[in-house]
Amino acid sequence: MISRKKKAIMDANEISWTIKRMAHEIVEKSYGTEDLVIVGIQTRGVHLAKRIAREIESIEKKEVPVGALDITLYRDDVDSIAHQPLVKETRIPFDITDKKVVLVDDVLFAGRTVRAALDELIDFGRPKVIKLAVLIDRGLRELPIQPDFVGKIYPTSKKELVCVNLKEEDGEDSVVLK
């Protein structure tokens, strides 16, 4: 088998204006920033959440609270994964009850991470609504979960790997297929 070379899906520019577009969509669909909070899923979802919040702030001139969610303890495969991921910080320094929560992750795939995130969020309170924003939707869902805000739809096969690189974590902004 010829190994496919890394293929670029998005570059830094594209990521930048995609996040801008998503911020506009979120504001539009949420009728402003009232009761709006953004929660990113560790690790890259948190960085994306912060970027989206900054964009919204520059549009609306209002601060949007951002939280971080680590879903490790809510995974459905704790027994079977070869290496236990380190449990990271969950920090939601505000009450989410009756809030409009936008959950942010980098890649939407099987949907299991989002399922875990929903369970965990609900342990923090009862939001009015939870919406899902992802940078890449690569398809292949295993659970009935769909995003509300998508950066790019990019259908893939199970063997492939979609890597989102962000400056805060990886030194550069790019999305590549491996």
Partner 1 sequence: MRLKNKDLLGLEYLDREEINLILETAKPFKELFTRSVKKVPPLRGKTVVLLFYEPSTRTRTSFELAAKRLSADVLNISASTSSVAKGESLIDTAKTLEAMKADFVVIRHSMAGAPQILARTISASIVNAGDGTHEHPTQGLLDMFTIWEKKGRLSGLKVAIVGDILHSRVARSNIWGLNKMGAKVYVVGPATLIPPRIEQMGVKIFYDLDEIIDELDVINILRIQMERQKENLFPSLREYNEIFGVTDERLKRAKKDLLVMHPGPMNRGIEISSSVAEGSRSVITEQVTNGIAVRMAVLYLLAGGDKRGMKR
Residues engaged in binding partner 1 (CB under 8 A): 70, 72-75, 78-79, 81, 83-84, 86-91, 119-120, 123-125
In angstroms, give the least distance from the CB of 65 to partner 1: 16
CA distance linking residue 98 with residue 7, whole number of Å: 42
Query: Would you say 11 or 76 has its CB closer to partner 1?
Result: 76
In angstroms, give the least distance from the CB of 108 to partner 1: 22
Q: What is Dmax (Cα atoms) for the chain?
A: 53
In angstroms, give the least distance from the CB of 53 to partner 1: 22
In angstroms, give the least distance from the CB of 132 to partner 1: 21
The three-state secondary structure class of 18 is helix
Query: Would you say 1 or 86 has its CB closer to partner 1?
Result: 86
Strand partners, 90: none
Nearest to 70 by CA among 39, 29, 41, 104: 41
- Which residues lie below 8 Å from residue 94, measured CB to CB, with a gap of 6+? 37, 65, 67
Record the tokens describing residue 58, joined without a space. Answer: 């520059």
Query: Would you say 115 or 138 has its CB closer to partner 1?
Result: 115
Query: Would you say 61 or 123 has its CB closer to partner 1?
Result: 123
